[in-house]
Structure 1
Amino acid sequence: MTAPTRVVVEPAFTAPVHVPVLVIGAGACGLTAALRLADRGIECVVAERDERPAGSTSLSSGFIPAAGTQVQRALGVDDSPERFAQDIQHKAHGTAAPHLVKAYTEAIAPALDFLADHHGLQWEVLDGFLYPGHTRHRMHTLRERTGEALVQALAQAQERCEIPLLTQARASELVVDKAQRVLGVRLQRPDGSLEAVACDALLLACNGYGGAPDLLQRFVPEMVAATFAGHPGNDGTAVRWGEALGARLADLRAYQGHGSWAVPHAVLITWALMVEGGVQINARGERFHDESQGYSEAALHVVAQPGGQAWNVFDDQVLALAQGFPDFVQAQQAGAVRTCADVGALAALIGCDPSTLQATLDGVAPDTADPFGRGFRRTLQAPFHAVRVTGALFHTQGGLDVDAQCRVLDAAGQPLPNLWAAGGAARGVSGHDVSGYLSGNGLLSAVAGGFIAADSLARHLQPETAP
């Protein structure tokens, strides 16, 4: 039986294990933080609810946007943290937290270079196309191009550094004193027993609240009925603990949706299909939004269509690009991609009127006024390929309010004594709603946030040696 997540106040806390830093969550955020803490000479323990590190990272594309890395500079890409920050704020309509935008865009390149130089992660930059909202090629990925490969590379580095990792250890009770100083955490084991770990400081790198229907109903009710394609660990633990402590919450209506979740195959279809000329067509054979604006807000557009579904439609040229992504190849092998010789066959697949569909495709052409404002570089050519999709919720972008050092803030905006948060546990840089999500913001917040939090924790615990 799963014990309820709660905060308990105790005057003293005894535990068989005491560590300088306890990290809750072994995704990209928690593992990056643990590796950086080890580099700074700070002992930590990472607690993970699952049998192995995975979390939201494993379900992502694994693409991390960064400006100014060694590999980006080697490619001659003219980029900077300032330009990256401008792109983030442009997508968020100026509503992203300025202090976090600045902190994350400045920290992410040093973080990726650290992981490369000290832990062997070999980054590549996707330079075949630009994701919506990015003005430079700055998406970094490992060769495998999957989130699963990213989290496993980080976990292997953690193992090499012999950083203790407690798996199947769900954070159940946060223990604090009357001054709101964290004393430790009780972790629930598979047999229902509680294991206590005391700490000098705590980093919440655990989750958002996308898998918590009660919190969704409060903050983003429009997505309560949508498919949740995120990790079950997104149960809102950080938000619930924060509220119990009187911490300030921020950007709670922000989240990352995705308008390209294949049904019934339940796999993510890369948005590169849309970026490179594909379109989304509903059951009536009509387009219904500007697909070039981004996959996050596309989720709302798709779920608003008849049956809450649509079809991604593209041609051989787009297919060739998509086959460079392992996740897409797996989806194709699973039968998610259907091929139609002509418009009539495509209309039969969709179940729409052929003349309506023909008119829709005729409008996908250069120099044609698009009712949704999209510009097309070319027309789509038969044969056509199609994937049936729905809109899904992946992870939330709001959470505990933090300063530029990822310290959790109280209602008055002052840091709590020894509590840090980053990644899904904290507010992100996507502003106030779904439209503010710039591709890669989730992993940006996770990796940069974990890196920043570790350096901040080092300064907190060893002020005499901190730079």
Structure 2
Amino acid sequence: MQQAIAAGPKEQTDVIVIGAGSAGYNAAITAKQAGAKVILLEKAPFSGGNSMLAAGGMNAAGTAQQKAHHINDSVQSFINDAMKGGRYANDPKLVEILAKQSADGIKWLESMGVNMDDLKRSGGASVDRTHRPHGGLSVGPTIIQHLRKAADKFGVETRLNSRAEKLVVDDNQQIVGVVVHGKHSGYYLLAAKSVVLSTGGYGYNKQMIAYYRPTFQGMTSSNNITATGDGITLAKAIGASMTDIDWIQAHPTIGVDSRILISETVRGVGAIMVNQQGSRFINELTTRDRASDAILKQPGRFAWLVFDNQLYKKAKMVRGYDHLKMLKKADSVAELAKLTGMVPNTLEQTVSNYNSYQKSGDDQAFHRDNMPLNLTQPLITR
């Protein structure tokens, strides 16, 4: 590595973007459209990063899609929901930027050819705000597929198998380049006017998780194997400070004995969540952290998502879980209870109560305000 620095820059460019997930692609394409010479680096032999695994959708307020579906939403409502979901520990300025620019983010993706016409409600949202591709396509792979095409269209040079090993600074502590290790080319120095770190988090780095959040040590991660905190390490090495580095989100639903994340939109479109006995224990549309905390307090520290054939037909991603043999199916509540080890009478009462709440529009147990489907057809759980 030191030899590469001593040898001087092998190439000069305007902008280096490190990490070819959604953020990296968007940054690289934007810079290229602005007239910059751009090199996009990705350590893996494939692009997409954690974005490839996104199955839920993108929250946005005040969009054309919401208007078309007659959904009354606002930036302030988005801000209120986000602040509440973050237990008011969020940075209000960043939340405001997120909310105010969210609709433009949807427009940007549309300009890249991504359809985001389907709307769902995710946990913590007060209205249908989660935008997804129509037809039930998974949002992450769809976005990445179109961003790859856009990068090619605009001439963004993308280098796979190219790990950024070191940020190089001058005497004024200004970043002037990146030492890259190419799988086939070895170490070399790229000089640049600007460097964008878009390397994501450290959700797949067990050592970093144990260090920053000891209570999550040993937990299963649904992150891509590329999410190892490389950008954080690069930044810290040149003296960058870290903000809220210990904040790790535990997603409440993941496949049993797997790393496959179950999108919260499954709850949003109608599933209920029950414990080992078959009882509901929380509003399914609460925020992820509260849902996760509640699950960990249940017997056995796990829960079931229960839905019926109506949701199965409605949500394409659920049929994908079925393809992976992740679902248990039954023609009756009693049969489902037997398959899962739940208490039949308890589960039957839970389903009966929920159907009553859904019909009246009043969830007397947990005040869930959006219950689009009942549980009257053959039941399914995961």
Match of residue 380 from structure 2:
385
TM-score when normalising by structure 2: 0.86
Q: Select which of 309, 315, 328 maps to 1:316.
A: 309
Distance change (3 Å), C-alpha of 1:369 and 1:227: same
Matching of residues 144-223 of structure 1 within 5 Å? 144-190=137-183, 193-223=186-216
Asked whether the equivalents of residues 27 and 57 of structure 1 are also in contact (C-alpha less than 8 Å), the reply is yes
Q: Select which of 112, 118, 121 maps to 1:126.
A: 118
Distance 2:97 2:363 in 1: 42
Matching of residues 409-448 of structure 1 within 5 Å? none
| SS at 2:23 equivalent | helix
CA offsets per residue over residues 340-374 of structure 1, 9 Å max, x none? Answer: 1223212211123323433444443425642x554
Match of residue 338 from structure 1:
328
CA offsets per residue over residues 300-352 of structure 1, 9 Å max, x none? Answer: 43345454432211123333332xx3x32221123222211223212211123
CA RMSD of aligned residues (A): 2.9
CA shift, 1:51, in A, is 1.9
**More deviation in 43-52 or 149-158?**
43-52
Q: Select which of 225, 231, 242 maps to 1:232.
A: 225
Q: Select which of 55, 64, 85 maps to 2:58.
A: 64
TM-score when normalising by structure 1: 0.72
CA offsets per residue over residues 43-93 of structure 1, 9 Å max, x none? Answer: 111001122311011000262222344555555554443332233223223
Q: Select which of 256, 262, 273 maps to 2:266.
A: 273
Q: Select which of 344, 357, 377 maps to 2:347.
A: 357
Amino acid at match of 2:172: A
| Greater RCO, 1 or 2 (C-alpha within 8 Å, sep 6+) | 1
Alignment of 1:30 onto 2:20: no
Q: Which runs of 5+ in 1 are unaligned?
A: 388-467
Amino acid at match of 1:124: M
Distance 1:314 1:298 in 2: 17
Distance 1:98 1:223 in 2: 26
CA offsets per residue over residues 112-136 of structure 1, 9 Å max, x none? Answer: 324434x3x2433323x42233334
Asked whether the equivalents of residues 261 and 268 of structure 1 are also in contact (C-alpha less than 8 Å), the reply is yes
Q: Which runs of 5+ in 2 are unaligned?
A: none
Amino acid at match of 1:125: D
Distance 2:52 2:342 in 1: 37
Asked whether the equivalents of residues 282 and 311 of structure 1 are also in contact (C-alpha less than 8 Å), the reply is yes
% identical equivalent positions? 25
Distance 1:12 1:85 in 2: 49
Distance 2:347 2:77 in 1: 40
Distance 1:251 1:177 in 2: 28
Distance change (3 Å), C-alpha of 1:248 and 1:180: same
Amino acid at match of 2:381: A
Distance 1:112 1:383 in 2: 36
Distance change (3 Å), C-alpha of 1:14 and 1:229: same
Amino acid at match of 2:153: R
State the aligned residue count: 373
Alignment of 1:98 onto 2:92: yes
